[in-house]
A = this chain, B = another copy of it.
Amino acid sequence: MSMDIRRRDLLKAAAVAALGGVVGRVTSAADAPLSSWNDGPSKEAILDFVRTTTDRSSPRFVPPEQRIATFDQDGTLWVEHPMYTQVVYCLERVPAVVKAKPELASAEPFKTVLSGNREAISRLSTDDLLKILAATLTGMSVDQFEVEVKQWLSNARDPRWKRPYTELIYLPMIEVLNYMRANRYKTYIVTGGGQDFVRVYSDKTYGIPCEQVVGTVGGTTFGYDKEGRPFLTKDPKLLLNDDNAGKPEGIHLMIGLRPFAAFGNSTGDRQMCEYTTAGDGKRLAILILHDDATREYAYGPAQGLPESKVGTFTQALYDEAKSNGWRIISMKNDWKQIFAE
């Protein structure tokens, strides 16, 4: 915990230092922003957006309280391929759920998950997956859920890189988060993933506090335990599916302001980018194309890349982005480095 506090204090100190600048931005060469980005139009687009919107002499200056930047998570801030990390979590929680309710062991889809047959698991229907999500993400108190996710994250390892999932975050995007915050942008995660799930690690991992995580979210129910102490139980009732049109709807629900910058990587981010760029003044929409099979993964199907079960980037989205002036980031060409060492 003390590590986290120190990290936050450093980030805040950086923000306060930036306040001292005449135009409210970091100008020191020692702090050259976006250093793991290759020079080129993508990097320049981000720098130019921040310069323009934070320069008080610019006609497109944005007051600090309106500086909202939203970031999709899966495939935008961390690896999503071949399976969303939260889905891995849910599948790996099944044994514990079955232990508590042994009658599930012989019931589908739990039986298939317990079999460990990857081929069969990958063929589970959406309805089956929803059953697994409901069984592993709801029914417990919000405090208990936090404990379960924390514990899993500290032990789980990505099979390809043998590293904790929270280390598989994109260094160039962490630099964008820091750069925007140093320029008094408030950074939000806006994810199709579960709001409560992402909140468990968002501060430590991205420097984004839990109240700035907008995600798919279910209701909770207030009640009392046997000793009369109040607690909240996670319900299977969906309040917001924070994907596609749900992203601007979630942004309004949780923030109430239209973002000036939005970052995504799939068709699920389309409406968020449309909503963001439809506002007045200078706006920025960025889509990350996973085109680096060597250092990460390559999938589309935009530009002839292989289709993927996660983070679909269609050619139609690619074309809309091009025609609207949204910027498409090539992981292969725009990023010097993918992960922090």
Contacts and interface: CB of A to CB of B under 8 A. Distances in A.
A86 interface: no
Interface stretch (A28-36, A88-96, A163-171, A218-226): A218-226
Nearest to A244: B222
A217 interface: yes
A324 B246 CA distance: 41
Give the size category of A's interface with B.
35 or more
Contacts of A255: 210-211
A248 interface: yes
A271 B221 CA distance: 12
Contact of A217 (B8, B16, B253): B253
Contacts of A231: 278
A222 B270 CA distance: 12
7 contacts: A195-B256, A210-B257, A219-B253, A222-B245, A232-B249, A239-B240, A239-B253
Interface string A223-240: 000000111100000011
Contacts of A129: none
Nearest to A8: B65
B275 A222 contact: yes
